[in-house]
Structure 1
Amino acid sequence: MNRIFFSLFLALMVLQGCKDNSASDTTMEAASPSPEEEVQAVRKEIEEINNKVTALMKAGAYEEAGQYFAEDLVQYISGQPPVLGRQAWVESRMAVADMGEWDLQLEVLDLALDGDIAVERGRGVQTFTANETSPMPSFQLTGDYMVYWKRKDSTWVIQWDYVAMPPQEGTDAPSE
């Protein structure tokens, strides 16, 4: 009888151990976000960074805005020479700042995530209001963009930025 009691007791202990392990596995699974939740969390972070960068640019704080760009940034804006490096980006923004008021609105359309790499596809509206000394007139352009982000030291930075702007009036654009 003792042997049967001991065997049942041992079996219950083993079952209890299995039950405890499966409960902790379930708890761990519930604690880690699903891939969709992770994409949404990163998208929210990137949208917040986009808002900070555009607000800093509007305020003329280009050095501070530049912190969200990788040191070895590569930026292509159609119809313009490439911008190579964070410092070149800051200098390019400062070079046109005195021409008038610049405003940029960004909308994230899609985001793909793979670990510490994210790719953002979006649409932007660039508005320029020329001042009296500006060598160019006021304009508003809507374009599409794609940004390759890298997570660095727990924050996201722009590594590559490609902006496709529509041809401006008076330019020879290829016909489709």
Structure 2
Amino acid sequence: MNARGLQPITVAALLAAGAIGCQAPGSVSGVFGGEEFSLHCESPLAAADASGRDSVVVLSEATNETLSTVNVRLRGVGELPLGEPVAVGSDDDGAPSVQVVVGELVVETRADGVEILSAADPQRAASVGGTLTLESRDATGVAGSFSAELDDGGFVEGFFAAEATR
């Protein structure tokens, strides 16, 4: 499954657990789509994939018109060393990866009252290189920092302390 396939799952996880806070916020800055980019997330979340081997950290920010997300895919999260940088690659090479998605904010409300946020006409960029350093990892979440070169010629760097979702 690629990062594009995980996006609806992670956005749903983000919304389902939206009321859950975390120890520290996340922040990302850099250049995306040829322009300065920044995102501040008060409640980053980490969701395990079906195998439990990989995890995706979702940092998001919604304004009146725009939804911005940065997804950090942690391949083999249980085996990644703590406090040591590891290489970031693309989603296809089995390494940790980063994806930036920005689009027009669309809000839909389900019958049960849960709001679903999505991005219409999204612009995307994926990592092609960089580093990731995990500082902590346990059953409650994961924290770390990253710096990634993007396939659109830009770059992002940031940090997160993400609470695990169930």
Shorter-chain TM range is 0.3 to 0.5
More strand, by proportion: 2
RCO comparison, higher one (Cα < 8 Å, 6+): 2
Give the TM-score normalised by the residue count of structure 2. 0.37
Query: Structure 1 length normalisation: TM-score?
Result: 0.36
Which entry has the higher C-alpha Rg, 1 or 2? 1
